Amino acid sequence: MITTMLAEAWSALIANRLRSSLTMLGMIIGVAAVILMLAIGGGVQKQVADSISGLGSNMLIVTAGAGRQGGIFGGAGTGATLRIEDADGIARLDNVLAAAPSTSVPAQAVAGPANWATNVTGSVPAYFQVNDWTVGDGRIFTDREERAGARVAVLGQTVADKLFGANDPMGQMVRVKGISFTVIGILEKRGQGFGGQDRDDVIVVPLTSALRLLQGNFFRRSIRTISVSVASADALDSVTDDITALLRRTHRLRPADPDDFQVANLTAITDTLTTTTRAISLLLAAIGSISLVVGGIGIMNIMLVSVTERTREIGIRMAIGASRAAVRLQFLLEALMLSLIGCGIGVAVGTGLAMLVGGVIGFETQVTLFAVTVAFAVSASIGIFFGWWPATRAAKLSPIEALRS
C-alpha cells in the first residue's frame, strides 16, 4: 500500500514539475545554508584546536610581566621579571615533565645575497620537547652547546626557503645582527596557526647565545617566556597554582603586590575558543534555518492548492472505499517527498559551497554525517508539520460534496 502511495505521490510531483521545483527551492536554500554554516563552524573549531595543540599538549606558558621605560608601559612579556633560575625551579615541581625558558628577538637574517625579517628564538633543547617539534633534516643543538653559547641555529621551513631556496641550508652560515650562526637543522613544517601566523617563520638558537649576542643590555639576564610541559591534563590547575606560589616567593612579592608574570593554560584557551566558535556556528545555522521555515510554508501552500485542484479525485477515492486515514497519508507522503528531495539537493549544494568556501578562505571546512542527518530529520519534520493541515483538510472532505465539485 505504501509503495503504491509513494508511486502516486511521485506521479503527482512529476505532473507539476515547475511548481514542485519552485516549492522545493525554499528547502534547498535553507538546507544548503545550514550545511554551509555548520561546515564553516566545524572548520574553524578544527583550526583553533590544531593551532593550539600544535604548540604542545598539556602545556602552560609563563610570560614575563609588563615592562616600563620612563613613562611608557609595555605589554605582557616586555618586563625583565623572569630569569633562567625561575625555569629551573619550575622544572623541579611535581607533575612537571620539562620547563623550557626562551626569549624572542625580531631580527633580519642574512645568508649570502638573501635576507629575511623573522623572529629569532633563544631556548634550550627542552624547547623542542615541550613544543612537540622535531627536525625534518639535521639535528637540534645539545645541552652542552647551549651552555657553551655555541653559534648554531635550527631554521623553520619558511626561513630556510626564503634564505636558501632550493639549495641545501645544512652547514651554511646565517648572519643575525652581524653574528654568524651555522645551520645544523631544519624543523618540520607546521603551517599557519590560528589567525594566519606562520609558525615556520622562526630561527631557534641556544638561549645563552641569544642572551649574550642578540638581546639588548636591558634584557641581558632575563627571559620572556617559560614553556612548561605537564604530566597530564588533570594536573594543569594544580601545577598552575604551584608555579604561581613559587614565582611569587622567589620574586619576593608581598601579599598585596600583583603578579609580575602571567600563567596561561592552553587547554583552557582551547576549550574557551571551541565553545565560542561552536556557539557562533550554531547561531549562524539557526539564522540559516529560517529559510527552512519559509520552505515549509511554501510546501503547505502548494499542498493546499493541490487539495483544491484534486477535490474530485479525493471524492472518487472515498467513494470506492478509501479511508480518511489513507487520504491523509497520501497527501502527507507528497509533502514529505517534496521536503526530502529538496533536502537532498540542499545537502549537495551546501557541501559544494562548503568545499568552494574552504578553498577561498584557506582552511578545511567540515561537512559531518551528524549535520547531514540532522538536516534530513529536520526536513522530514517540516514536511510532516506543514503537510499535516492540508492532508487533514483533504481527509475531512465529504465524499458527496467532493464529487459534486
pLDDT at 241 over 60: yes
- The residues spanned by each domain of the chain are 2-51+288-404, 59-231
Q: Are strands 135-138 and 179-187 parallel, antiparallel or unpaired?
A: antiparallel
Question: What's the pLDDT at 56?
Answer: 56
Question: What's the pLDDT at 181?
Answer: 96
Asked if 253 and 238 count as a contact pair (C-beta separation under 8 A), the reply is no
Q: How many Å is the Cα radius of gyration of the chain?
A: 33
Asked if 64 and 79 count as a contact pair (C-beta separation under 8 A), the reply is yes
Sequence-distant (≥ 6) Cβ neighbours of residue 298 within 8 angstroms: 22, 23, 25, 26, 27
CA 152/CA 204 separation, integer angstroms: 9
Sequence-distant (≥ 6) Cβ neighbours of residue 17 within 8 angstroms: none
Phi and psi torsions of 190, nearest 5°: -115, -20
DSSP string, 123-170: E-THHHHHTT--EEEE-PPPHHHHHHT--EEEE-HHHHHHHHTTS--T
pLDDT at 67 over 60: no
pLDDT at 57 over 70: no
pLDDT at 90 over 50: yes
3-state secondary structure of 15: helix
Instruction: Give alpha helix (H) positions in 187-310.
Output: 207-209, 236-250, 266-288, 290-309
For 118-160, the pLDDT digits (tens) are 999 999 999 998 888 889 999 999 999 999 999 999 999 999 9
Please choose, from the candidates 3, 11, 35, 6, the residue with its C-alpha nearest in 3D space to the C-alpha of residue 343.
35
Sequence-separated contacts (24+) of 308-314 with Cβ below 8 Å: 310/394, 311/397, 311/402, 311/405, 312/402, 312/403, 312/405, 314/394, 314/397, 314/402
For 321-372, the pLDDT digits (tens) are 777 777 777 778 888 888 888 888 888 888 888 888 877 766 677 777 877 8
Q: Which 8-state DSSP code applies to residue 217?
A: G
Which grid cell is 138?
639535521
Question: What's the pLDDT at 194?
Answer: 53
Question: What's the pLDDT at 400?
Answer: 65
Asked if 159 and 203 count as a contact pair (C-beta separation under 8 A), the reply is yes
